[in-house]
Amino acid sequence: MSKVPAPEQSLTFTNPLLEGMHPDPSICRQGDTFYLVNSTFEYLPGLPVYASTNLVHWDLIGHAITRPEQLDLSSARASGGLFAPTIREHNGLFYIACTAVGVDGPSGSFYITAASAAGPWSNPVWLPDAAGIDPTIFFDGDDIWWAGCRQVAEPEYEGQTEIWLQRLDPVEGRLTGPEHILWTGAVKGAIWAEGPHLYKHGEYFYLLAAEGGTGDNHAVSVARANNVTGPYLGNPRNPVLTHRNFGGTAAVQCVGHADLVQATDGSWWAVALATRPRHSLTLLGRETFLAPVAWENDWPVFNPGLGCLSESGEVPAFVTAETNAAAEQPLITSPNPVRRVLGRDEPWITARGFPAQHMGEAGSENRIALLSTGARVDRTEPAAALGVRLSHHTAAFAATVERLLRSPAAGGPMQTLVGISLSQSPESQIRAELSVEKAARIDIIEVAGGVSRIVESRNLDDETFDRLVAGEPAGIELRMAVLDGATVRVETGTDGAVVLSADLPARVLSTEAAGGFVGAVASVYSMGTAGTGAVFAEMVYER
């Protein structure tokens, strides 16, 4: 865990707290330690769990979905999978409520539990009667409540949703008792009242919700009631947090989907998602931001005096001692270094599958053997790819194809396709790719709207081809650099000499072009004939 300052000091936080794709944040506290979880959609391991003792420095301590028997996302569409988790702690047990969307096999709403937020987490308890998405769980004495969001059966307008509530029986693992409709949002005509969270503060129960969709009109609204089942009265000042009135030139946009937590000193804080477009392009996805919350007239006020997310702020020193939230070494300790060497211990993410399913030993911690299953990264398939989130508007991702791997068990003609990519979805990618079949070739490829085009291509010499086919060291260098969120510079080379170079517009990787709910991911991949692949070395992420 990260160091905690002396009690008399305060800490400055800088937004975003978690850079790159960290949407739909949910937060809770146990003792002196805060825990935070995010959506991961089609990426596994799913639902990263972060810990902090000061709300400023966050350590990745584990993931909630780490085993194939928990969840099968192999069929998940782009931006399908794990939606909007809620994390809570009650009587020493942690709960995460979540929804699996658009997958074959078990899907819908579920909850998992763990004695430690670092895991291991249980297999899902599925709730087939829990309609809709974005579930939350709320503990009120001996009562456990489950709330979610779904479309109204007979809507007044397109996109109208309702937030509903029902008791949860954790012994039986099912919903029970009457259902209560709590709210349809603050603004008539505003779509998707979703992401509900419930709290008890003073004499009121509070319902926090997002509305307006997760794009430019995103906002946070709040309602309160004397009873958890309602009726709920909306705050006359709703929405209580939004940047939608700032216009398209604002540095921070799409603010919404918030969750509240109280610190040990009694102060209240909110985490929320927001985006940081650059040149009107959103490459990094939705990130996690922090804001102080005050209570005035029994209503929460976000960032008092400003009413919006700020670039920075101060957190009081409400922690009096250094603690260790996880009983094990964190996977990543913030802040991230300027140059991160990527190896086997990196918490890689993989679309529709687990990284360990594709990763093999390669002789050292900073080398990885990656074997293809025959699935492709430009299709909605569980391809062999290891990724890290693009977290900065100016950053570089590089790897060296040290040597090729060709399994004799594959038999027949074999084509090896290995490389690096920046990807927002199977239909929106930029790749630098080594192809070896009857010849060896390097291609720079752009995939836009599902249509692939080779931007630059060059055949390698016969000597290099022979070394590659023989599995001998070849040293094919691949590098992609994002420049100010506008351009992607792709360079490939051997022995330090540039073979190919191209500058491509970054727009293909943006939410504006590709849609969806995720941010760009930088990956090494193998997608040739099953059993072929490569040993990747010198993998780095630089900012």
pLDDT for 8 beyond 80: no
Annotation says 203 is catalytic: no
Token pair listed for 409: 């068990």
pLDDT band at 49 (very low <50, low <70, confident <90, very high): very high
- Tens of pLDDT along 164-208? 999 999 999 999 999 999 999 999 888 999 999 999 999 999 999
Closest CA to 332 of 42, 14, 52: 52
Q: Does residue 469 sit in helix, strand or coil?
A: helix
Amino acid identity at 407: S
- Tens of pLDDT along 353-406? 999 999 988 889 999 999 999 999 999 999 999 999 999 999 999 999 999 998
The verdict on whether omega for the bond into residue 231 sits within 30 degrees of 0, i.e. cis, is: yes
Q: Phi-psi category of 466—alpha, beta or left, where left has phi over 0 and alpha has psi -120 to 50? A: alpha
Strand pairing category for 440-448 and 33-37: unpaired
pTM score above 0.75: yes
Annotation says 495 is catalytic: no
Count of CB atoms situated within 10 Å of the CB of 315: 20
* Domains located in the chain, CATH noted: 11-333 (2.115.10.20), 339-542 (2.60.120.200)
Amino acid identity at 383: A
pLDDT band at 10 (very low <50, low <70, confident <90, very high): confident
Instruction: Please give the pLDDT value at position 497.
Output: 82
DSSP string, 164-232: EEEEEETTTTEEEEEEEEEES-SSTT----EEEEEEEETTEEEEEEEES-SSTT-EEEEEEESSTT---
Q: Which of 24, 32, 134, 287 is catalytic?
A: 24
Number of H-type helices and E-type strands within the chain: 2, 40
Instruction: Please give the pLDDT value at position 244.
Output: 95
Torsion, Cα 431 436 440 441, to 10 degrees, reads: -20
Q: Which of 194, 259, 427, 477 is catalytic?
A: 194
pLDDT band at 2 (very low <50, low <70, confident <90, very high): very low
